[in-house]
Amino acid sequence: MSILIVRYSEIGLKSTPIRKRFENQLKDNILTMLMEDGVEAIVTKNGARFYVEATDIDAAVASVRRVFGVGSISVAEECASSRMEDVCAKAAEYSMPRMSAGQSFAVKARREGSQGYTSMDVGREAGSSIFIANEDKGVRVDLTDPDVVFYVEVRENRAFVFSDYIRCHAGLPVGSQGKVLARVDDDRGLVAAWLMMKRGCRLTVHGSGDLDALRRYDPLMKVGDGNPHALGYVLGTSVDGLGSVDVTSYDVPVFFPTIGMTDGEVADIADTIRAGL
């Protein structure tokens, strides 16, 4: 059965106690998103990776990629790592339905632990097994510009084989920073609120904009025109519209995440938000 490898991004730059707290928040957010989408899954953690086992792996991908703090995900096949033969057999099995006649390939291997072999050993031996398994298709090795790249990641007693990194929104886990109040009346307001979510803020939003689209990125988002615990107010404003904002009328700092963005840039991000990607 396939398993989802989940990697975080800038969380890894934090000190050990902060990183642990952010990792716990990220795991909670992943579970909340999966539950909101009705995806039955088990989420575990080992080192700097989260692993999601789900009956519907495609639905799990769609959910997890909307969780801020996640840098990338990969759909992988797993095997034990104690014997090189098992890793090579899994790599060969994985490659066969993914290679066509005449294609070139490369293997990129990473290893962490004390398995008794190196990452170079994994790349060489797995590559040989993939070549033999697909030899009748006339495949060839090309380490410079391959048609297909197979990744082998060995971590302690587990090995994973996959062929793709799905890039996600990265940022910080929602709830790891303070609470803010956001007004959403148009695309700029929508994008401004979304960008504050991406920086880890928990939002209370109000306005006539597309609030349902925002909620897809944080099921715990609140709707209302006030929050006594808000540490800031978020407005979607351009440079031209900044003069009409009286920041002295607010009791908290006012943030303008889209002030340096063109209308086209705002529209592109707004389309992504509404698509739930």
Domain-wise residue ranges, the chain: 3-78, 82-156, 179-275
- The yes-or-no verdict on residue 242 having pLDDT over 90 is no
Domain spanning 179-275: CATH 1.10.10.10: no
Rounded distance between C-alpha atoms, residue 233 and residue 217, angstroms: 19
- The CATH class given to the 3-78 domain equals alpha beta
- The yes-or-no verdict on residue 33 having pLDDT over 80 is yes
Bin 55: left if φ > 0, else alpha if -120 < ψ < 50, else beta.
alpha
Summarize pLDDT for 90-112 with one digit per residue, the tens: 999 999 999 999 999 999 999 98
Summarize pLDDT for 171-224 with one digit per residue, the tens: 999 999 999 999 999 999 999 999 999 999 999 999 999 999 999 999 999 999
Only one residue has tokens 């990607």, namely 277
Q: How many residues does the chain have?
A: 277
Q: Of 94, 68, 90, 92, whose CA–CA distance to 80 is shortest?
A: 90
State whether the Cα torsion 44-160-148-120 is positive or negative.
Answer: positive
Domain spanning 82-156: CATH 1.20.140.10: no
- φ, ψ at 165 (rounded to 5°): -110, 120
